Amino acid sequence: MRIKQWTKNLFVYAAVLFHGDLFNVAALSVTTLAFLSFSLTASGIYFLNDIIDIERDKLNPKKCTRPIAAGKISKPCGYLCAALLMIAGLTVAYGINLPGFAILLSYVVLNVLYSLRLKHVIIVDVLIISYGFVSRTVIGALVTQIHMTIWFVLCVMFLSLLLALGKRRYDASRSAAPQKKLYVEFIDQLITVVTAGVVMCYSLFTLETDTVEMIFTLPLVLYGTFYYLYIIRVKQNSGAPDEVLYKETPILVTVVLYVTCVIFIRNI
C-alpha cells in the first residue's frame, strides 16, 4: 500500500489551507474524507503497478524486496487488493460529491494506462505524474466547493513536473545506456523551464490573493526550489522525491516554516 507515500496526498488540503478554512470543522472533515479516498485509491494503483512490473522489480536490487516481487503476496491476492482498495476509494469519493468522484476516476484511468504502457512513453510519463498532483489539489477544492486560483493550480503542475523530472534525471544518470548523457542534458533543459514556471506562477498567485502578506512566503518557496535543484544537480539524490521531504532537513524545515506562515497569514 506504500503508506509512506500518502504524504503526496496532503496536497488535498491545499484548498482549505489557502482559502482560510483550515479550522473550519465541516470543510476539514470533508477534505479528510477526500484524503482517505485518494490514499486508498492510490494504494490500489500501487498494487497493480507492482504486479505489472513484477519481473522488472525482481532484477532491481532495491525493488526486489517489495512484497509482490519477493513472492510474499501472490498475483491473485495482489489483484484482489488492488480492486478492493480502488473500489473503496472511489466509493468514498462518490459519497462526497460527483465532481470529486470524476476527478478521482480520471486519476485511476490515467494511472492504469500509465502502469500498462504510458510510463515508457517519454514526456507523457512525467505529464501523467504531474496530473496526479494537480488532481489531488483540485479534488480538495471540488469537495469543499472552494474556488482555487488558476495560478496556484499551475504552480502545483510545474512543481510536480520538477519532482518527476528530478527522479527521471536520477534514474537516467545511473543508466548504462549509451545515450545517457544526451538524455540527462535534455532533462536538465526541461528542469530549467519548469523551475521558471514554479517561480513565476507562485509569484502571480501571491499577488492575486487578497492577503498581501503572502508575498513574504516567496523567499521560502525560492529557497526550497533552489535547494531541490541542489539535490538534483550536486548531490544527485532525487531518486525518491517523497523521501526528500523527511530525509533532507533543509527541505523539511522549509516546508514546516512555509505551512506555518500560511496558517498564520490565511487562517488566523
pLDDT attached to residue 74:
93
pLDDT attached to residue 171:
85
Instruction: Give me the amino acid identity at 39.
Output: S
Please state, as a whole number, how many other Cβ atoms lie within 10 Å of the Cβ of residue 268: 8
Set of cell numbers at residue 35: 484524503
Set of cell numbers at residue 178: 549509451
Compute mean pLDDT per 10 residues along the chain, 268 residues long, and list them.
Answer: 91 96 95 97 96 90 88 94 97 96 97 93 94 96 94 96 92 79 91 96 93 94 96 82 82 95 94
pLDDT attached to residue 227:
95
pLDDT attached to residue 178:
74
Q: Could you tell me if 52 and 190 are in contact, meaning their C-beta atoms sit under 8 angstroms apart? A: no
Distance CA 100, CA 144 (A): 9
Instruction: Give me the amino acid identity at 244.
Output: V
pLDDT attached to residue 237:
79
Torsion angle defined by CA atoms of residues 89, 94, 99 and 101, in that order, rounded to the nearest 10 degrees: 30
pLDDT attached to residue 241:
78
pLDDT attached to residue 62:
81
Would you mind telling me the total number of residues written for the chain in this entry? 268
